[in-house]
Structure 1
């Protein structure tokens, strides 16, 4: 769906005063969600912990029935959601939307501003990084479900063999030296086969601000090649690629990748705080061997960025009773202590300050598998203490494009050659990606600054 400047302006700047589009609700008559009228909500989400909230919510709200449907993970769900919104039917009442994708749905006018329901009072409840991701254009367009502050997950057995202490690796120069020592053992310090989300997170970590959307939603700034912090990451990562210090062949989330984590040939990951349970299931032989440290940064400063994390958004509807009921569920799942608690117990990494500061959370040393067995996967380390600190250090200045889903989808088309066959440099790939993003923005009706 292409938007010209006039349409974008209407959706982005005037969405608050336009009638709500009849796309996200059903055909139920409007009414009071707190009354006796029976309301059925459909939620699209791939998150395995969200269904755990339904029983408690329905007990507190017997007139609201919630059905959670997995419409596909991230971009698959987004495509289905876009199709439904454009068709004017078939959209859910709520949808899980990752932070990077949310601005696009705000600009398109697809999601409800939740400020009028009381969400604008929650800024101190959520961590700065997650709150900044949902508080867009003077509104609150979703509630944070979880968060993904970056952390360094590492196999201590391999690091000890290499003579590397990750707690002493504070700068990217330190990381480079550590990568050489790990490679000498036969392992790679980490892997990257061309991941756009990782690129965003690492440039964010460096303090880059390559993207920005104008307040009226009609203009974008795209400045990858002119941002010196973006260049700092490119130079750093190219050096590791050139010297064969990172695994560029193994794609993430494949069986081969899990095997590499399991046998130690991929010795660490720079990734989001949601990773512990994925390691437990994907690399079971690493049980007891892994630890977590803070991210090494460009200059060794205590800053951080997000990698992943999702929000729960209410899809626009002209049915006010349905909208109120949908907000009630979002508030229960993301803000209510019972809703948040049951999700954290299921493995979600919290987005709220209260949970991150709780003694029970901070003192955790074990993970529980699907059969109820406890595993001290991180060797008895109070791993949430490390991750909570990582969350507190997230900077809030980074912005995503209002078409970030498309941007990430085409990243490998331009930069992928820097990893796969080394046919181009990463700098050349990013320059090509920048050109493509500017062309796409103009095709969609944006003014490119």
Structure 2
């Protein structure tokens, strides 16, 4: 990707108001220009012939597609839909409820009246699988990447979405800062290695970790990507707790306290920026690019944005360290643009044709660019993509000792905990004392219990 263009695209994303209205578009039907066939059309003739039966049965139908996209992602997808309509003759009613997306889908789940196709925003298995069609028999199934497959496959081995893109969260670093401090990034394997790196970076006069805490979600992102998995759920976790987190018996006072104490320790040791509470996301990204910090933690989109601010920056990405010897380093993978088909749809052929179109018509690179994600299918050429290249290079460096897991709060917390994590980390940043930690743990415990009981009220 050209980073001047990326910065322009990013600016559009940041400043175009979020659309909360329902948006629909319809195409002009199949191309009937009658022009002489081109070489490209001749090459695709066999493919068109093989799918003519499905096209004949789907042409002229109207397909309802609901997405959780906004702004530039929505504009990109609207162009995809327009091309799909023109090529296939299938009409698409595209709806984008914005911030109300989850509420709309939950209401429609209750009445079993769902869109033909919708984006699952991280919940294809845990929330929507009972309503979605298994897609293991689709031609693109064998192309799903290993990292994507780990988070979209249920216990029976079924997948319910086309994972066009996935979001990767990890530890990003400024290579020049680490080199000046005598830190070799690919040698950071354990929590102890990471903390030793922080000590060396601090001794060199640079802030080890930067968090834009003015936007509290960055604090939540730090513990959600790094501390909570490392301490509780990863291979080699300090206090393995995956089962108790998911069955509602997690002991917050005994086991949650060390996690939040670790966050306070990083502040008290001077590992984090002093302006935590006043720095925003843009300042965090610029700090990484400008070499004012060693690490930031969250989506690797931040790596690309930092590079757009400082084109000459020498940056990289690392998986999350493991705590106990013998563990594995972890990349956190979240569903990006993932499309599922309602199991009771009356437009199955058209719905599957849309998924095939997204998978095979060079749609995925544009989706990746607008959301800063990586392809969920192999063999996709993104061109010049700094963040993606850094991610793939890291996979090679850590080959044989990597694990992939879902976004922590989606996998291990009841729905609704994100704002609570934001509040808890902000509280500790303002008061990293024992009392501050106790207050944060109590806040997390109370909300975790309430939300878990609410989610399982009908069990």
Give the match for residue 285 of structure 2. Answer: 258
**Hey, what does 1:14 align to over in structure 2?**
none
Question: In the aligned structure 1, how far is the partner of 2:341 from the partner of 2:186?
Answer: 44
2:264 maps to which of 222, 238, 243 = 238
- Partners of 1:431 and 1:210 lie apart in 2 by 18
User: Among 229, 243, 246, which residue is 1:204 paired with?
Assistant: 229
Q: In structure 1, which of residues 163, 167, 171 is the aligned counterpart of residue 182 of structure 2?
A: 163
- Over residues 295-353 of structure 1, what are the superposed CA-to-partner deviations in whole Å (9 max), with x where a residue is unaligned? 433246443131544252436475411x44233323432x437344554577541223x
Q: Which has the higher contact order (CA 8 A, sep 6+)?
A: 1
Q: CA deviation at 1:172?
A: 1.4
Q: CA deviation at 1:189?
A: 1.9
TM-score (norm. length: structure 2): 0.66
Counterpart selection for 1:140 from 153, 159, 162? 159
Q: State the Cα distance separating 1:141 from its structure 2 match.
A: 3.0
- Alignment gaps of 5+ in structure 2: 1-23, 25-52
Aligned to 1:429: 440
**CA distance in 1: counterparts of 2:247 and 2:280, whole angstroms:** 32
CA contact (8 A) 1:152 1:292 kept: yes
Please give the per-residue CA displacement for 1:171-219, whole angstroms capped at 9, x wherever unaligned. Answer: 21122122123223443222344643443333334525645599xxxx8
Q: Between Structure 1 and Structure 2, how many residues are aligned?
A: 384
How many angstroms apart in 1 are the aligned matches of 2:411 and 2:457? 11
Larger radius of gyration: 2
Shift of 1:408: 1.7
In the aligned structure 1, how far is the partner of 2:241 from the partner of 2:354? 35
**CA RMSD in angstroms, aligned pairs only:** 4.4
In the TM superposition, residue 406 of structure 1 has moved relative to its aligned partner by 0.7
Aligned positions of 1:32-71 closer than 5 A: 34-35=56-57, 36-46=59-69, 48=73, 50=77, 53-54=80-81, 57-58=84-85, 61-66=87-92, 71=97
| Preserved contact between residue 114 and residue 327 of structure 1 (Cα < 8 Å) | no
Tell me what 2:200 maps to. 181
Partner of 1:130: 148
In structure 2, which of residues 349, 354, 361 is the aligned counterpart of residue 329 of structure 1?
A: 354
| 1:446 shift after superposition | 4.0
**CA contact under 8 A between 2:171 and 2:320: conserved in structure 1?**
yes
Question: 1:384 maps to what in 2?
Answer: 392
2:322/2:328 contact within 8 Å kept: yes
| Number of the residue aligned with 2:426 | 416
Q: CA deviation at 1:383?
A: 5.7
Tell me if 1:394 matches 2:403.
yes
Matched, 1:277 2:288: no
Query: Does structure 1 conserve the Cα–Cα contact (< 8 Å) formed by 2:333 and 2:405?
Result: no
Structural mapping, 1:237-386, within 5 Å: 237-247=263-273, 249-250=276-277, 254-281=281-308, 284-285=309-310, 287-299=312-324, 301-314=327-340, 316=342, 318-321=344-347, 323-333=348-358, 335-336=359-360, 338-340=362-364, 343=367, 348-352=373-377, 354-355=378-379, 366-367=384-385, 384-386=392-394
- CA 1:200–1:384 in structure 2 vs 1: closer, same or farther (change >3 Å)? same
Deviation at 1:429, TM superposition (A): 2.4
The answer on whether the counterparts of 1:287 and 1:377 sit within 8 Å (CA) in structure 2 is no
- Cα–Cα, structure 1 residues 34 and 271, in superposed 2: closer, same or farther, change >3 Å? farther
Give the SS at the match of 2:209: coil
CA-CA distance at 1:143 after TM superposition: 2.5
Contact 2:264/2:429 (8 A) holds in 1: no
Q: 1:304 to 1:317 in 2, by over 3 A?
A: closer
Return closer, same or farther for 1:403/1:189 CA change in 2, 3 Å cut-off: closer
Change (3 A) 1:106 1:444: same
1:314 is paired with a residue whose SS is strand
